[in-house]
A and B are shown apart, each in its own frame.
Chain A
């Protein structure tokens, strides 16, 4: 690669990114998914102002009240407003999705890069550990880790994050294996660039797009996993609101107060659909092989 050609690369990359963003906004699934996620982010951030009631204050005069003008989603077994608890529950679900996936990316991505770039013993060792982690089904591993770490939202996020690491190792490794054979990597080596500079400057930007797609799709799985752990009593501790824990309580009052189960479930579905749609949209916009 000549100096002129090398100088043209950043400009080409900027133009490429602009076209990717244009493609992303042209993908209906990405737009719908993004709108749903934005809606939930607003709910989570401004929960204190949006929620009509305090999510933890019981109202003994309105126990298991059906949806009405005062309580749009009804009340629970302690008379707490279900709508307010659903709104505040967004915080736990979004935090679980984002924090656990960030943990998984921060650990999985560098290991995947190293395995794919250096190959040999490093690749074998990292791949075997990732295979071993992948052999334990996601939810079973998350439950086991959460059980041993103790029940809390923080530990649930760690458990989900650890369980998701091998997915990112796999994605980063696979992409790096493709990228490392490219001419510009050989050119960077010929210019005397070190491994770290090549990995961060040349390989990483090319691995980021599939990683972002995978991260978005994994957030959907992480939200479901957090709700599952909370449902089992291994997530957010009461009385703090969490959609999964709300469903666990609602099970006992299905006949008398079905709304207690209906609305937290619909919230989980909406958020997961949002992440899945934006993941599909990103995949179409960012993945050139799509």
Chain B
């Protein structure tokens, strides 16, 4: 296990370094004076001069990257030109909101994707299976933001059951927090539920073909026990890995969902950053999302080995 961890870290760290190079390189796509571009709407010469000095735009690019990276390693993501707040502080404030949305969405995905996937596998070729395939196709094809708009239209505008947007922190009221997150989590979780359903269905079909299932049937074990005790635990091993990786995807998918439901999370932060030309914020969000994604893939690898006895030995 230790060897695996070290081997994966040896790949992860250079990848993260390359990501940081790419994110730094984004600055170079900006036309004209980078200090002027980084200042966004700000036209104060002092601010522009401060940025030029801070990022040493007169120095060669590798030196500029070194300075930028050194600041990052010390937790300095720069300052937002829009809010004037340190970006690190903004990230610490927004990330928990997006993580809550991602966790709730994953819950939706598991509650919907797992049972449908299992039932579709057990009733292969039946109308239920075709219905599940249709759900899978729809889940992958419906844009999050459109589904969000339609749910707002139905549950907020027409029925008036749920708030159309906004966020209530859990510290204020857990009940109202969950109500405010219900539609966003449904919207974001649907796509993941579809992916989960497809994988669970495939894994269950494979598991039900295995020798141990045939042996259990020959011994007269009840079908329900075979499914729940023997096939499902084995089928779930790749699903755990998938779920971990999908968690990283959910953080990215939150960008549009947060925009539709006006949730002040990571995604809204990047969109606001784009429109106020707050490029340092955009860079910080991309870098953090990539770091979380890499961390989740590391956890997925470890989970796969831990759950699979053959690999563990």
Find out whether the CB atom of B141 lies under 8 angstroms from the CB atom of A272: yes
Find out whether the CB atom of A132 lies under 8 angstroms from the CB atom of B282: no
Judge if B259 is at the interface, Cβ distance under 8 Å. yes
Contact of B142 among A128, A228, A255, A269 (CB under 8 A): A269
Give the residues in chain A near B30, CB-CB below 8 Å. Answer: 148
Find out whether the CB atom of B140 lies under 8 angstroms from the CB atom of A268: no
Assembled-state Cα–Cα distance A155/B180 (Å): 35
Binds B, one of A17-25, A184-192, A231-239: A231-239
Judge if A261 is at the interface, Cβ distance under 8 Å. yes
Over the window 1-27 of chain B, the binary record of Cβ atoms lying under 8 Å from chain A Cβ atoms (1 yes, 0 no) is 000000000010011101101110011
Judge if B85 is at the interface, Cβ distance under 8 Å. no
Over the window 131-150 of chain A, the binary record of Cβ atoms lying under 8 Å from chain B Cβ atoms (1 yes, 0 no) is 11101111111011101111
A-B pair count, CB < 8 Å, reads 130
Find out whether the CB atom of B26 lies under 8 angstroms from the CB atom of A145: yes
With both chains docked as a complex, state the minimum distance between the C-beta of B52 and any C-beta of chain A, in angstroms: 18
Give the residues in chain A near B11, CB-CB below 8 Å. Answer: 131
Q: Give chain B interface residues in 274-307, CB to chain A under 8 Å.
A: 274-275, 279, 282-283, 285-286, 289-290, 293-294, 297
Judge if A254 is at the interface, Cβ distance under 8 Å. yes
Assembled-state Cα–Cα distance A135/B293 (Å): 6
Find out whether the CB atom of B143 lies under 8 angstroms from the CB atom of A276: no
Q: Give chain B interface residues in 99-137, CB to chain A under 8 Å.
A: 137
Judge if A6 is at the interface, Cβ distance under 8 Å. no
Find out whether the CB atom of A276 lies under 8 angstroms from the CB atom of B282: no
Find out whether the CB atom of A250 lies under 8 angstroms from the CB atom of B149: yes
Find out whether the CB atom of A132 lies under 8 angstroms from the CB atom of B143: no
Size bracket of the A interface: 35 or more
Give the residues in chain B near A227, CB-CB below 8 Å. Answer: 143
Q: Contacts A132-B19, A145-B29, A277-B137 known; A232 to B149 CB distance under 8 Å?
A: no
With both chains docked as a complex, state the minimum distance between the C-beta of B29 and any C-beta of chain A, in angstroms: 4
Judge if A47 is at the interface, Cβ distance under 8 Å. no
Judge if B204 is at the interface, Cβ distance under 8 Å. no
Q: Give chain A interface residues in 201-252, CB to chain B under 8 Å.
A: 220, 224, 227-228, 231-234, 247, 250-251
Q: Give chain B interface residues in 224-278, CB to chain A under 8 Å.
A: 248-249, 251-253, 255-256, 259-260, 270-271, 273-275
With both chains docked as a complex, state the minimum distance between the C-beta of B108 and any C-beta of chain A, in angstroms: 19
Chain A contact residues: helix, strand, loop or mixed: helix
Contact of B141 among A220, A233, A255 (CB under 8 A): A220
Q: Contacts A148-B29, A247-B146, A247-B149 known; A233 to B275 CB distance under 8 Å?
A: yes
Q: Contacts A148-B29, A232-B274 known; A261 to B149 CB distance under 8 Å?
A: yes
Give the residues in chain B near A262, CB-CB below 8 Å. Answer: 150
Find out whether the CB atom of B146 lies under 8 angstroms from the CB atom of A265: yes
Find out whether the CB atom of A135 lies under 8 angstroms from the CB atom of B290: yes
Give the residues in chain A near B145, CB-CB below 8 Å. Answer: 228, 231, 247
Give the residues in chain A near B253, CB-CB below 8 Å. Answer: 137, 139
Find out whether the CB atom of A234 lies under 8 angstroms from the CB atom of B274: yes
With both chains docked as a complex, state the minimum distance between the C-beta of B68 and any C-beta of chain A, in angstroms: 15
Judge if A129 is at the interface, Cβ distance under 8 Å. yes
Over the window 102-144 of chain A, the binary record of Cβ atoms lying under 8 Å from chain B Cβ atoms (1 yes, 0 no) is 0000000000000000000000000011011101111111011
Judge if B157 is at the interface, Cβ distance under 8 Å. yes
Find out whether the CB atom of B15 lies under 8 angstroms from the CB atom of A131: yes
Find out whether the CB atom of A128 lies under 8 angstroms from the CB atom of B18: yes
Judge if A258 is at the interface, Cβ distance under 8 Å. yes
Assembled-state Cα–Cα distance A106/B300 (Å): 32
Give the residues in chain B near A129, CB-CB below 8 Å. Answer: 18
Give the residues in chain B near A137, CB-CB below 8 Å. Answer: 248-249, 251-253, 289-290, 293
Judge if B72 is at the interface, Cβ distance under 8 Å. no
Give the residues in chain B near A258, CB-CB below 8 Å. Answer: 153, 157
Max count, chain B CB within 10 A of own CB: residue among A132, A141, A149: A132
Contact of B252 among A139, A254, A265 (CB under 8 A): A139
Task: Write 5 A-B pairs (CB below 8 A) sorted by A numbering.
Answer: A132-B22, A136-B19, A231-B256, A261-B150, A262-B150
Given contacts A128-B18, A147-B274, A269-B146, 4 further A-B contacts (CB under 8 A): A128-B15, A136-B22, A147-B273, A233-B275
Residues of B within 8 A of A (CB): 11, 14-16, 18-19, 21-23, 26-27, 29-31, 137-138, 140-143, 145-146, 149-150, 152-153, 157, 248-249, 251-253, 255-256, 259-260, 270-271, 273-275, 279, 282-283, 285-286, 289-290, 293-294, 297
List of 9 A-B pairs having minimum Cβ-Cβ separation, nearest first: A137-B252, A132-B18, A265-B146, A272-B141, A147-B274, A148-B29, A135-B290, A273-B141, A136-B290
